[in-house]
Amino acid sequence: MRARFLITACLALGFTPAMAEMDHSQHDMTGHTAHTGASAHIHHSHRKGMWMLEYRFMRMNMNGLLDGTGNVDSRDISGAFPGTPPTIDPTKSYLMAPTKMRMDMHMLMLMYGLTERLSLMGMVNYRDNRMDMVMHMPMLDMSGTMETRGLGDSLLGAMMTLDDRWTTSLSISLPTGGIDETADMTMTGINPMDGTQVSFTSTNIDVSYPMQLGSGTFDLIPAVTYKDSTDKLGWGTQASYILRLGDNDNGYTLGDRFEIFAWGKYVISPSFLVSGKLTFADWGRIDGRDPSIDPQMSPAGDPDVTGGTRADASLGLNCFFGQGHSVGVEFAVPVHQDLNGPQMENDWTLSFTYQYMR
Ligand SMILES: [Cu+2]
């Protein structure tokens, strides 16, 4: 739906006088090559003195639980005994389980071409996480939602063009995102005896790891990108690694993460390009644990069931308009997931990007 809306918007913009006067020599395929997928996180550098501003919105949706590659019912791994407060069912590992999660990220990035070969980059992001939880009790299910929001980790980086095809980059992630996030949650259910609604509210819950906003550590991110193109076609691959440095203040370290993706794109017209991408990511378990997060409360708070591998396939559409503006959408679905579970299963990821270069 959003893609259809964008196509319509792009077509409308394409017929404005600004487009007719556009200098096409400034907007050639090189520009398209550098910015293949505005929505694809592809590292690139800029000509000397060139600025780029980018806003990216990303929504990741998770649904249900996965152990290895197989689905797990929350009933099989979690449950409570009746009473106040409810105590964990001794035959289950956890008191509650997450059923759904939505992670929203708003990223603002600024790039500047320092020399013909070297570009600098800075990025801040704002996150908004929602997690739905269920607690199975002998007679009823209680469910509720937790939410955390705030500044995430920030990125500073440098990209170096080696030749027409190879780019390397080194970024450092600064721990500006919170790792002491708390949330209130009201759980409600229907009493089967009399049909009345029962509810209770817990306040200041130390939320589980996926609900925290940052890593709490300085992270080093080296990456290398290869790309090539003809007039109409482009392709390439990029590999990156997130190396977590030391332990955070709460006594744990998120797992390192390796990611590689390959993409192909087709230039439909000076204003449009479509792209396809295949991504493979592998990330490690959390090392250590935050003493204030109860590992038996929910699998999301258990460091032992973190880490895994995932492959995503995605389709993207980019549209260029005016003088240096572009918008892009990208939709990704997992084609393979193998998680140290039970962990939340990724369902889809949608991103929207606006870029301005001058
Ligand atoms: Cu850029």
**Domain boundaries defined on the chain:** 2-357
Paired tokens of 173: 């992630």
pLDDT reported for residue 341: 83
Q: Point out which residues pair with 217 in neighbouring strands.
A: none
How far, in Å, is the centroid of ligand 1 from the Cα of 15? 26
Cα of 55 to ligand 1 centre, how many Å? 11
For residues 103 and 141, give the distance between their C-alpha atoms in angstroms, rounded to a whole number: 24
42 CA from centroid of ligand 1 (Å): 9
Question: How far apart are the CA of 46 and the centre of ligand 1, in A?
Answer: 6
The rounded distance, in Å, linking the Cα atoms of 291 and 293 is 6
Instruction: Compute the distance from residue 111 Cα to the ligand 1 centre, in Å.
Output: 6
Q: How far is the CA of 59 from the centre of ligand 1 (A)?
A: 21
- Tell me what pLDDT residue 41 has: 58
Cα 45 to averaged position of ligand 1 atoms, centre (Å): 6
pLDDT of res. 84: 72
Task: Give 263-280 pLDDT, tens digit per residue.
Answer: 999 999 989 999 999 999
Going by the DSSP 8-state scheme, the letter that residue 95 receives in this structure is S
pLDDT of residue 86: 82
Hey, what CATH topology would domain 2-357 get? Lipocalin (2.40.128)
Closest CA to 357 of 46, 11, 21: 46
The whole-number pLDDT of residue 83 equals: 73
In which element (H, E) is residue 254 found? none
Q: Which residues, at least 6 apart from 11, have a Cβ–Cβ distance to it below 8 Å?
A: none
CA of 29 to the centre of ligand 1 (A): 15
Q: Compute the distance between CA of residue 56 and CA of residue 36 in angstroms, rounded to an integer.
A: 15
Kindly give the residue spans of alpha helices, DSSP state H, lying in the chain: 2-14, 17-20, 29-34, 74-77
CA of 51 to the centre of ligand 1 (A): 8
CA of 212 to the centre of ligand 1 (A): 29
Beta strands of 230-357 (E only): which ranges? 233-245, 252-253, 257-269, 272-283, 287-288, 308-321, 325-357
Q: CB-hemisphere CA count at 13 Å for 223? A: 29
Per-residue pLDDT 10s for the chain (358 aa) are 333 333 344 433 333 333 333 333 333 333 433 444 434 457 777 888 899 999 999 999 999 999 999 999 999 999 998 777 789 999 999 999 999 999 999 999 999 999 999 999 999 999 999 999 999 998 899 999 999 999 999 999 999 999 999 999 999 999 999 999 999 999 999 998 999 999 999 999 999 999 999 999 999 999 999 999 998 999 999 999 999 999 999 999 999 999 999 999 999 998 999 999 999 999 999 999 999 999 999 999 999 999 999 999 999 999 999 999 999 999 999 999 999 989 999 999 999 999 999 8
Residue 264 alpha carbon to ligand 1 centre in Å: 19
- Say how many Å lie between the CA of residue 53 and the centre of ligand 1: 7
In contact, 171 and 121? CB cutoff 8 Å:
yes
List the structure tokens of 131: 């997690």
Judge whether 58 and 351 are in contact, CB under 8 Å: yes
How far does residue 313's CA lie from ligand 1's centre (Å)?
23
How far is the centre of ligand 1, averaged over its atoms, from the C-alpha of 35 (Å)?
Answer: 7
- 13 Cα–ligand 1 center, Å: 22
Half-sphere exposure of 275 (CA within 13 A, CB side): 34
CB 257 within 8 A of CB 265: no
- Please list the helix, strand and coil fractions of the chain in percent, rounded to the nearest 5, in that order: 10, 60, 30
Q: Is residue 154 classed exposed, middle or buried when 0-12, 13-18 and 19+ CB atoms within 10 A define those classes?
A: middle
Which secondary structure element, helix H or strand E, spans residue 147, and what is its range? strand 141-151
Distance 332 CA to ligand 1 centre (A): 22
Chain center to CA of 18: 35
Rounded to whole angstroms, how far apart are CA atoms 341 and 73? 12
Distance 283 CA to ligand 1 centre (A): 27
CA atoms within 13 A on the CB side of 161: 17
